[in-house]
Chain A
Amino acid sequence: MMLRVLVCVLFLSNVGIIFSQVQGFVVDVDNAPLSDVEVFFVDQNLVMKTNEKGLFTIDNNLPENSYLELYKFGYNSSVAQYRSGQDLIVVLQKMHVELDEIGIQENVSFLGSYKHLNIEKKSLNNNFIASTSLVENLNELSGVNSIGSGLGIQKVVVRGLSGLRVATYLNGMRIANQEWANDHSIGFTDLGLGRIELIKGASSLKFGGDAVGGVLYFQDEPFTKVNRPTGFLASKFDNSHFLFSNQFGFKLSKQNLYFNLYGEHTAASDYRLPDKNYLFNSRFQNQALKFSFARLGEKLQFIARYQYNNDEVGIPAHDCDGLNLITIEEITSSSLDLSEDYEMTRPTQYIVNHLFNFETKYFTSKIKYSFFAGYFINNLQEFEKWTIPAFDMDLSTTNLRLNLDFEVGELSVNTGVQYNRQENLNNIKSRLIPDSYSNDMGVYTTIDFEKNNFGFNTGVRLDYKEIVCNDYNYNELFNAFNSSVGVFYKKNDHLTRLTYSGSYRAPHLSELFSNGLHHGTNRYEVCDSNLDIEHSHQFDFKYQWNDEHFGFVVNPFIQLITDFIAINPIDSFYLDRYRIYNYVQYDEVHISGVELNVHYHPHFLHNLHIEQSYSFINTLNKANDSNLFFTPANKIKSKLNFDLDIYNLPFGLKKVSLYHLYAFAQNNIVSFESASDSYSILNAELLFNPLINLSLVVGVKNIFNKEYIPHLSRIKEVAGGVPEPGRSFHVSLKYDF
């Protein structure tokens, strides 16, 4: 076997010299070549697979010290660093337990060092066929919940915080889409996405303020080095919403040039409740188109992207009287008329997003320079009447970022400067938030060190943010200093990590200036222009142990937030029917909890994987010893994956998956908030590969047709609570060419 490796090394050396190519060789611990290993060139955002000899080749030279991430299902992923003159031979170990944690799965994160920060990663490849929505997939992570009503309106909650406190990035661009309200969804779909990285809790160093609750960083699928055009066509049907969705993707590459194109269209009607009635106006439609173009040279590379996303979303459970005194019969239909019930009715949101971004990287032997420029414009119209919008706003965001990566001795240094401008402009007289703008300038530096199973990370960030609203003669400058420290230590199979991270959030335009009726949430919102900056401090501890068949992680955390900005219902009504919600600021709030993850895989059945996560959270408002509004219920999430690939079953049956969710009752509530009952739901899914390049997924959700109302349902308070969809079937088909 060693002889085979030596032959390959000699072969690689010669070819590399003659053709100026970079080649690598991936083997297992017995030195047997591994085929179909995904080799991800991190700096190039380029992916390719090893051939049957375990070889991969890239035409042009790689920049010195470039990172490569290598992954194959059933093996321990690995990170290699390219150094010219050295052979790239990577050994992957068999690994049945996949916890995606420090030390087990080596990987590279866009958000920083995964060893020091609480970064979780999840692949979104094939999310379209494997999951009913992007947010539902994220919901399977421990500590993650969602606020919503059906599939039409969904937004992510991380450790009890959401909206403005969870900063969402798409390919490096901050997505600002009026995310302050619970009826404003995430703003894009899984179209063309490759993976998500999630930081739980405060994290401001690299991605600016606002990330008090966490960061969601979505990254497109990498470019592919292929000799011919590739792509896919995919379709999905889900009978809970009578949802039809289609996607296509197309990839081209030639020499150093790469091009990706994607499109999507989705139409969904009203969703069916467990009692077989339909929640009126829970329908939605989406059209999306995105393309990216790149030149990935040896020293200089650039990527340009454009994304269009158009959502038309019905706002269900609308109560004309605003008092939540209606019955469920008044907001549900006993039947669907498919010729009419895909059409938008009222109230409705129309959301149009355009995202442009451009990033360029320049590599020298010592420093990697990267520059990012992005522009995102969000138009939001909310209609309660047919012909007159209640409001119509354009929110534009501009991001500029210059970042440097270099090494000083054994320290890895990352430093940069960032500018963010946001402008809110009303297109009509009726408005909820006035015309206003903000400018945010920040500088940051982080330092990483790792040696002999010990590592630390530290960083500082300084921000200045100006908020101006001429209508209110408001012009305030906020500044904040943040820092973070993380250490990890590994001994044998034991890993520990302790992290402190600080974050801040300046008050948002909606909190400072909104004053009016928001039909989407049935609230009359009253601002407070005296709100000040809120600061967060999080301590996060993680202990992990694993062997080949069993692994577990314990992750307690506590977050202290001072000057916490909240919106609270009061005992007053606007026009005698819309409850008034005031923005207030609490001196001190504590959010604490623990997350546990267990992964078991029996020795006698290596292709059976059982994963379970427990997330427990508690919130405390020190001012009155009460909880915070919308504290998520504690949850146990269990997943069983049985890989049937080796059995060669009929119809190409490849995998069986079961997902079970148990949500505890939530009685930790505030005034005018209702408690919620416990519930459990079970979903099942089968994956088939009936033909080469064809994938078929058939599944059923909520198998026992359980009637349940999540504590974070945005329509929990209407008509005594509106349940989530009942039992539903879904089928998805994807053809890769």
Chain B
Amino acid sequence: MKNHFLFLLGLSFFMFVSCEKDDDHHDECHECHLEIMMTNGTIDHSTDIGEFCGDDLHDVEENGWTVNTAFEFDGVTYEEGHQFTADQVHCEEHADHDDHDHD
């Protein structure tokens, strides 16, 4: 009986410790892009702004992104210092629809 109990206690400890959730995403790095409203009313997500890690990732998700080098998109020039809001910055991952199958 004692052995059974100790075995199961050990098993439960293993299950929960080994699967501990990594809540702290501040050490992670993710590619981010801008959401830009086009002149025809559609929304574009093709403007990448690079990879952000740790506190930088948190900062860009919380405060948005400031243009550091002017760029033109859809006929609009976004000057250096232009501020994109946090809602306009996306760092979530998307599905990867490549051509190889792992089936």
Residues of A within 8 A of B (CB): 228-229, 231, 246, 248, 250, 252, 261, 263-265, 267, 276-278, 280-281, 285, 287, 289, 310, 312, 318, 320-321, 329-337, 345-347, 350, 384-388, 575-577, 737
Q: Is the CB of B91 within 8 A of A334?
A: no
Q: Is the CB of B4 within 8 A of A333?
A: no
Q: How many whole Å from A578's CB to the nearest CB in chain B?
A: 11
Q: Is the CB of B21 within 8 A of A387?
A: no
For B16, the chain A residues whose CB sits under 8 A away are: 263, 265, 287, 289
Q: Is the CB of B61 within 8 A of A386?
A: yes
Q: Does B15 contact A (CB under 8 A)?
A: yes
Q: Is the CB of A228 within 8 A of B25?
A: no
Residue from the list B21, B94, B98 in contact with A334, Cβ < 8 A:
B98
Known: A333-B97, A575-B87. 15 other contacts (CB 8 A): A229-B1, A248-B11, A250-B8, A252-B5, A265-B19, A277-B97, A310-B21, A329-B95, A332-B97, A334-B99, A335-B100, A336-B102, A346-B93, A385-B91, A386-B57
For B93, the chain A residues whose CB sits under 8 A away are: 345-346
Residues of B within 8 A of A (CB): 1, 4-5, 8, 11-12, 15-16, 19, 21, 23, 25-26, 28, 30, 35, 37, 41, 43, 45, 57-58, 61-62, 86-87, 90-103
Q: Is the CB of B97 within 8 A of A250?
A: no
Q: Is the CB of B1 within 8 A of A386?
A: no
For B30, the chain A residues whose CB sits under 8 A away are: 386
For A280, the chain B residues whose CB sits under 8 A away are: 94-96
For A335, the chain B residues whose CB sits under 8 A away are: 96, 98, 100-103
For B94, the chain A residues whose CB sits under 8 A away are: 280, 330-331
Q: How many whole Å from B38's CB to the nearest CB in chain A?
A: 11
For B45, the chain A residues whose CB sits under 8 A away are: 320
Q: What are the 7 tightest A-B residue pairs by CB atom distance, in nearest-first order?
A: A280-B95, A346-B92, A335-B102, A387-B58, A385-B61, A263-B12, A265-B15
Q: How many whole Å from A354's CB to the nearest CB in chain B?
A: 14
12 contacts between A and B (CB under 8 A): A228-B1, A246-B15, A248-B12, A252-B1, A252-B5, A261-B12, A267-B19, A280-B95, A320-B92, A335-B98, A386-B61, A737-B4
Q: Is the CB of A334 within 8 A of B97?
A: yes
Given A320-B90, A333-B95, are A388 and B61 neighbors across the interface (CB < 8 Å)?
yes
Inter-chain CA distance A318–B35, complex, in Å, is 15
Residue from the list B4, B19, B91 in contact with A231, Cβ < 8 A:
B4
For A277, the chain B residues whose CB sits under 8 A away are: 97
Q: How many whole Å from A415's CB to the nearest CB in chain B?
A: 41
Given A229-B5, A231-B4, A737-B4, are A387 and B26 neighbors across the interface (CB < 8 Å)?
yes
Most buried by B among A265, A267, A347: A265
Inter-chain CA distance A231–B4, complex, in Å, is 9
Q: Is the CB of A250 within 8 A of B5?
A: yes
Most buried by A among B28, B35, B102: B102
Residue of A nearest to B23 (CB): A350
Q: Is the CB of B97 within 8 A of A263?
A: no
Residue of A nearest to B102 (CB): A335
For A228, the chain B residues whose CB sits under 8 A away are: 1
For A246, the chain B residues whose CB sits under 8 A away are: 15
Q: How many whole Å from B42's CB to the nearest CB in chain A?
A: 8
Residue of B nearest to A381 (CB): B23
Inter-chain CA distance A265–B18, complex, in Å, is 10
Given A334-B101, A386-B25, A386-B30, are A231 and B8 neighbors across the interface (CB < 8 Å)?
yes
Q: Is the CB of B102 within 8 A of A287?
A: no
Inter-chain CA distance A259–B101, complex, in Å, is 49
Inter-chain CA distance A329–B4, complex, in Å, is 50
For A263, the chain B residues whose CB sits under 8 A away are: 8, 11-12, 15-16
Q: Is the CB of B101 within 8 A of A331?
A: no
For B11, the chain A residues whose CB sits under 8 A away are: 248, 263
Q: How many whole Å from A592's CB to the nearest CB in chain B?
A: 42
For A252, the chain B residues whose CB sits under 8 A away are: 1, 5
Inter-chain CA distance A664–B14, complex, in Å, is 47
Residue from the list A318, A333, A347, A350 in contact with B96, Cβ < 8 A:
A333
Inter-chain CA distance A647–B37, complex, in Å, is 70
Q: How many whole Å from A229's CB to the nearest CB in chain B?
A: 5
For A310, the chain B residues whose CB sits under 8 A away are: 21
For B98, the chain A residues whose CB sits under 8 A away are: 334-335
For B26, the chain A residues whose CB sits under 8 A away are: 387
Q: Is the CB of B100 within 8 A of A386?
A: no
Inter-chain CA distance A287–B35, complex, in Å, is 36
Residue of A nearest to B35 (CB): A320
Residue of B nearest to A384 (CB): B92
Q: How many whole Å from A260's CB to the nearest CB in chain B?
A: 11
Inter-chain CA distance A346–B97, complex, in Å, is 17
For B41, the chain A residues whose CB sits under 8 A away are: 576
Q: Is the CB of A334 within 8 A of B100?
A: yes
Q: Is the CB of B8 within 8 A of A312?
A: no
Residue of A nearest to B8 (CB): A250
Q: Is the CB of A329 within 8 A of B97?
A: yes
Q: How many whole Å from B43's CB to the nearest CB in chain A?
A: 5
Most buried by A among B23, B61, B96: B96
Inter-chain CA distance A19–B81, complex, in Å, is 89
For A265, the chain B residues whose CB sits under 8 A away are: 15-16, 19
Most buried by B among A330, A334, A576: A334
Given A385-B61, A386-B61, are A276 and B97 neighbors across the interface (CB < 8 Å)?
no
For A329, the chain B residues whose CB sits under 8 A away are: 95, 97
Inter-chain CA distance A384–B99, complex, in Å, is 28
Inter-chain CA distance A267–B1, complex, in Å, is 30
Inter-chain CA distance A335–B99, complex, in Å, is 9
Inter-chain CA distance A350–B11, complex, in Å, is 24
For B5, the chain A residues whose CB sits under 8 A away are: 229, 250, 252
Inter-chain CA distance A329–B95, complex, in Å, is 8
Residue of A nearest to B15 (CB): A265
Q: Is the CB of A387 within 8 A of B62?
A: yes
For A386, the chain B residues whose CB sits under 8 A away are: 25, 28, 30, 57, 61, 91-92
Q: Is the CB of B28 within 8 A of A229?
A: no
Residue of A nearest to B58 (CB): A387
Inter-chain CA distance A542–B64, complex, in Å, is 62
Residue of B nearest to A386 (CB): B25
For B86, the chain A residues whose CB sits under 8 A away are: 385
